């Protein structure tokens, strides 16, 4: 976890052209670098728009299943609760018209987000996007300043 935290701390942002995708890319080498780490092949882990096409979803009681395995983790990348009829803003090839269980899951999730203040939270500006005097900073500058500030804090803590 310390190894992952250090990489995410400095490089945990999305820059697809350079192979960075938030915190996720840093997990790829973990099973090869550390003993005792296994990759799960269970379908119920990390369900997302990229692996739902052709899957069979079921609702049993209050639990959701994918291809007969209980869903444990859903990655909601690109989901907008204001548009619960769309699985993701990214191209995914999943046709919701033939997926009543998935439509219900999306509607329930959207409803829970709204009930828990999604609209209020979305209206807060990105904290590092503006200078201290209120002027807008280009996002690459804001990201650089954030990383620089974290590095300075880490160095200071290590002295």
Of 159, 149, 106, which Cα lies nearest the Cα of 127? 149
- Tens digits of per-residue pLDDT, 59-96? 999 999 999 999 999 989 889 999 999 999 886 678 88
122-148 pLDDT, tens digit per residue, is 666 655 555 555 666 555 555 555 655
Which pLDDT belongs to residue 107?
95
Q: Which residues pair with 30 in a beta bridge?
A: none
- Residue 5 sits in the same domain as residue 77: no
Residue 14 predicted with pLDDT over 60: yes
The answer to whether 105 touches 57, Cβ cutoff 8 Å, is yes
53 lies in the same domain as 98 = yes
Going by pLDDT thresholds of 50, 70 and 90, the confidence category of residue 97 is: confident
Task: Give the pLDDT confidence score for residue 92 in this predicted structure.
Answer: 63
Residue 58 CA to residue 148 CA, distance in Å, equals 47
> DSSP secondary-structure letter at 8?
H
pLDDT band, very low/low/confident/very high, at 46 (cuts 50, 70, 90): confident
pLDDT value for 147: 58
- 91 shares a domain with 139: no
Same domain, 46 and 99: yes
Provide the whole-model pTM.
Answer: 0.64
Count of structural domains within the chain: 3
Range of the domain at 141: 129-158
């Amino acid at each position: 976890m310390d190894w992952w935290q250090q990489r995410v701390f400095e490089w945990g942002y999305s820059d697809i052209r350079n192979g960075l995708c938030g915190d996720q890319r840093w997990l790829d080498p973990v099973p090869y670098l550390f003993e005792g780490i296994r990759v799960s092949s269970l379908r119920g882990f990390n369900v997302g728009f990229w692996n739902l096409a052709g899957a069979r979803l079921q609702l049993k009681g209050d639990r959701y299943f994918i291809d007969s395995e209980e869903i444990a983790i859903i990655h909601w990348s690109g989901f907008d609760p204001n548009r619960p009829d769309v699985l993701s803003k990214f191209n995914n090839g999943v046709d919701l018209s033939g997926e009543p269980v998935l439509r219900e899951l999306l509607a329930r999730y959207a409803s829970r987000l709204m009930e828990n203040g999604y609209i209020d939270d979305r209206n807060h500006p990105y904290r590092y996007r503006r200078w201290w005097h209120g002027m807008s900073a280009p996002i690459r500058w804001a990201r650089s300043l954030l990383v620089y500030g974290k590095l300075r804090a880490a160095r200071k803590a290590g002295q």
